[in-house]
Amino acid sequence: MDVTKQTKVDKTLPIPRRIDFLRHCAKLYETNGTSPLSDKDYDVEYYEVEQIVPNDPFFDEVGGLAINAIQGQSVPHVVTMGSLSKCLDIPSTATWLASQYPDPDPKRSYILQHKIDGLSLGLIYDGGKLIQALTRGDGVTGIDVTEKAKTVEGVCLTIPHKGEIEVRGECHKNRQDFYKTWHVSVGGVYKNPRNFAAGAMNEKDPEETRKRKLNFIAYEVVRRDFDTEVEKNRFLGQLGFATLNATTKRTKEGIPLSRVVKAVDAYMNSIDRANLPYDIDGAVLKLNDIALAKKMGTTSGGRKPKANRAIKFPPSTGDTVVNKVVPQVGRTGVVVPVGLLDGVDLDGALIKRVALHNYGALIGANALKIGAVVTIAKKGDIIPQIIKVVKNGTVDIEVPSKCPECDSLLEWDDTNTNVVCVNSNCIAQLNKRIDYWFKGIGVKGFGPGTIAKLTSVEDLEWDSKAIINSLEEMYYLLDNDRKTDHPFRKYAYLKANMGEKTYDNLLASIKSVIEVSLPVFINALGIENIGTSSKDIADIAPTIADVDKLTEADLLKLSGFGQSKVTSFIDSWKERRAEIEVLLKYITIKKVTLVSDKLKGKKFCFTGSFSNPTRSEMEKMVGENGGKLGSVSTALTALVFDGETMKGKYDKAKKVGVPIITQDDFLALIN
């Protein structure tokens, strides 16, 4: 299954595919707020998969703005800037507390704080002066945003502390101003305050960041020891920072274990999120005794403390009416129904549109109808979703017969689930294919708006056509004087209309990626139902020439490849072969050179924390020596065990009879 087309959790899929879908949802959520899963559904799936494969590399990945989203130098964190593991609700919080704190020491206490949904920053001071500001990045390495951070309200340029110290906190946008001025529901371009904060910090000019009027609240200090979290918060206040303790008066202190669960429940129910100055997506529970918390250790290679936890809110909901349904064309031609609603306010955002997934589900006596009263929840506190039909309407939803973009006749797919535009020249599909390609290979610097302008004959007409009519033509920009003066004049016209700086930036972005692996290349083509299955294809066909020779029989041997998927890939590959040939003039396929074939035919999985080498380094060794990674099943050659983590993968491996080996045993296989 192509994760880019998946719209809901599928527990029948293999664990690696479920993780691919989680990673896909997380990436969309972090970059543009279009995750197909609700916040609750994502967290439930994340939690369930984490219990099965707790040490999969995915769970080492730290949430936050992707490093490449901010322009600046990559800088290692002196102290890892991690994140917190999550509890999905109050019952899971109680379960976690019982397992993590089996001894109810009456002297132990806890604090509760808001979990601000913004952009994490680390502020480094030396001699009382701010010398550097870093984003979280992946927790190990962040991006230097010092000059832009200096424009943020609440970031102290000087502090009354002469030693070297780092203050960490959350950069955020005032939510009342955001939803009045910047949200998509009022004509803005941002879907949530977190993306707004990231976009503001992404500005190249610090003065542009200043105009966005961001704020900063501190909650952490590193490179200095404290006895308690309460003491740490007081110290931050003394330095001059706004904190969740001294300034906002919203921190609960000194909660004994016997009352923690009730305190968490009462605390979260008492929060009026709509009237807070910032967005929050839950609460944070911390052990007050810092020395004891450190003694309890960490997970995920030091990124997540065992003593503390983030507790998530249930999604906000509200009732509204479906007034109309309009069609919207996707990258592969699938036409998606979008419901237009009476406005409903959810946490300050006016929701007027909701995706309805497919037209097949809108046919029949029990299907959703115009005039229905529905309950809306925000997926991930961002994307609206119908979670309940309170009272159905009376008017059937009409299935479109023509494409809303190119007016071509629509056809039902083989499963009678979706109506599809089969016109390969449909501009809406072309725009999304181009966007998908460049995102897929890792190009940054322009998005759907720029692409739509390039492919619109109304915006940029040349000889009665648009400037760009195919993906290949995006690359012709790089050598526009190659044959005649016509392309040169055409792109000179484009340069004049876009402006020299914008035009040069566009070319620089396109040229920024010139080499990718074969799986990435295949995936970025956007062939229907392929997605991360491109890795499986590249395993049996490691070159473009090998892919050309693939037969249906070859592909049917691969796990997860049924007849329709196989036929779709072979037909699409042949249909787009000329386009692929052009792309290969600009993009080189990286060849993976094996160190050895000692692990050929073998499949490994790792559990626990490793060092010298790390788990990620050993996983790389598997591929370099001809092996593969996999989840725990009877097909696994061995589970590599750290000697401590005796749960999850370890328990499952014992149950199904998979050999369990040590790190030394694994290294001996390749030395």
Least confident range from 141-145, 354-358, 529-533: namely 529-533
Among the listed residues 69, 225, 218, the one whose alpha carbon sits nearest the alpha carbon of residue 145: 69
| Neighbouring residues of 620: CB distance < 8 A, sequence distance ≥ 6 | none
CA 345 and chain centroid, separation: 25
Write a three-state SS string for 14-51: CHHHHHHHHHHHHHHHHHCCCCCCCHHHHHHHHHHHHH
Using H for helix, E for strand and C for coil, what is the string for 378-397?
A: EECCCEEEEEEEEECCCECC
What is the rounded (10 degree) CA torsion for 421, 426, 429, 434? Answer: 160
Residue type at position 214 = L
How far apart, in whole angstroms, are the C-alpha atoms of residue 84 and residue 113?
13
Cα-Cα-Cα-Cα dihedral sign, residues 410, 413, 414, 416: negative
What count of other Cβ atoms lies within 10 Å of the Cβ of residue 159? 19
Domains and CATH numbers, the chain: 15-59 (no CATH), 67-312 (3.30.470.30), 317-421 (2.40.50.140), 427-513 (no CATH), 516-590 (1.10.150.20), 603-670 (3.40.50.10190)
| H or E element that contains 261 | helix 260-269
Question: Per the structure block, which two tokens stand in for 69?
Answer: 């989203």
Element (H, E) at 516: strand 515-517
Cβ–Cβ < 8 Å for 250, 244:
yes
Query: How far apart (Å, rounded) are the C-alpha atoms in residues 299 and 305?
Result: 6
> 396 vs 457, which has greater pLDDT?
396
- Taking residue 45's Cβ as centre, other Cβ atoms within 10 Å add up to 20
pLDDT-above-70 percentage for the chain = 88
What value does the mean pLDDT take over residues 446-474?
A: 84
Q: What are phi and psi of 338, to 5 degrees?
A: -120, 125
H helical segments located in 14-165:
15-31, 39-52, 90-100, 146-149
The pLDDT of residue 273 is above 70: yes
What's the confidence (pLDDT) of residue 482? 55
User: What local confidence, expressed as pLDDT, does residue 486 receive?
Assistant: 60
pTM for this structure?
A: 0.50
Compute the average pLDDT of residues 447-465: 82
- Report pLDDT digits (tens) over 324-342: 999 988 877 888 899 999 9
Q: Which two tokens stand for residue 235?
A: 């110290």
Q: Return the pLDDT at 64.
A: 38
Lowest mean pLDDT among 421-425, 463-467, 530-534, 624-628: 530-534
Instruction: Number of helices (H) and strands (E) in the chain: give both, helices first.
Output: 24, 28
Handedness of CA 338, 343, 347, 349 (dihedral sign): positive
Please report how many Cα atoms fall inside a 13 Å half-sphere around the Cα of residue 183, on the Cβ side: 22
The CB-based long-range contact list for 644-649 (8 Å cut-off, 24+ gap) reads: 644/608, 644/609, 645/54, 645/55, 645/607, 645/608, 645/609, 647/54, 648/51, 648/52, 648/53, 648/54, 648/55, 648/607, 649/52, 649/53, 649/54, 649/55, 649/605, 649/607
Q: Taking residues 224-253, what's their average pLDDT? A: 81
* Maximal CA-CA distance, the chain: 83
The amino acid at 117:
D
State the DSSP H helix or E strand holding residue 282, giving kind and residue range, or none if neither.
strand 280-287
Judged by average pLDDT, the poorest of 341-350, 501-510, 511-520, 594-603 is 341-350
Q: Own/partner pairs for 517-521, CB < 8 Å, 24+ apart?
A: 517/589, 517/590, 517/592, 518/542, 518/543, 518/544, 518/547, 518/589, 518/590, 520/440, 520/441, 520/442, 521/441, 521/583, 521/587, 521/589
392 pLDDT more than 90? yes
Average pLDDT over residues 166-178: 92
Q: Tell me the sheet residues that pair with 629.
A: 604
Read off the pLDDT of each residue in 36-58 and give the average, rounded to a whole number: 73
